[in-house]
Amino acid sequence: MKQPRLALLFAVLAALLVLRWWDGSGSDRSIAVSEAAVRSATVAARSSTAKVEAKLAVARSRDIDLVEPRNAFAVRVPPAPPPPPPPPPPVRVATVVAPVVVAPAPVVEAPPPPPPLQVIGTWDDGQGASVFLAGPRGTLQARVGDAPLAEYRIAQITPQQVVLRHLASNRDVVLTVPSAIGRLLK
């Protein structure tokens, strides 16, 4: 700090000390203030003590845990509900047992597996309609009666679908013809 400012601060400090020494009533006032603070603290302590005693009275009126009576954090489990009443005994009814005839369940054959074929085109020449099929061996052209795979034979060709007959089960499997391709057949 600069010298003039330091001198000014010391002068103010000296003035305050002289003022404190000259004013003699300041010591009595400090005692009265401290007594008031002590009195208000004791009054507050008495009121808080009354509140604590009221809470203890409420706590005493509750059920006391006999296992750990001094543990404030003990878990108090409510008593278990009473068991439900036993069910009534079953009523015995005399019945005449007639022989039951059960028909055997019909044997359902699994549908044939779907063929690994897809219609990718159609063709109509003077001999009749034919389809182009994409399969595991490449692209094939087939007509009604042809067998593009060993298990299937073409039964019918229409602008909307190609009907394949599964030879082992004699069931029909339908392959749809895409709409843009089917318009070529009439």
| 118-182: CATH, from 1.10.3720.10, 2.30.30.830, 2.40.50.100, 1.10.10.10 | 2.30.30.830
Read off the pLDDT of each residue in 116-134 and give the average, rounded to a whole number.
86
Mean pLDDT (the chain) is 77
Confidence of residue 184 (pLDDT cuts 50, 70, 90): low
Taking the whole predicted model, whether its pTM rises above 0.85 is answered as no
pLDDT digits (tens, 9 = 90+) for 69-83: 666 676 777 888 899
Phi, psi (degrees; rounded to nearest 5) at 75: -85, 125
How far apart (Å, rounded) are the C-alpha atoms in residues 156 and 121? 15
Q: Domain locations in the chain?
A: 3-57, 118-182
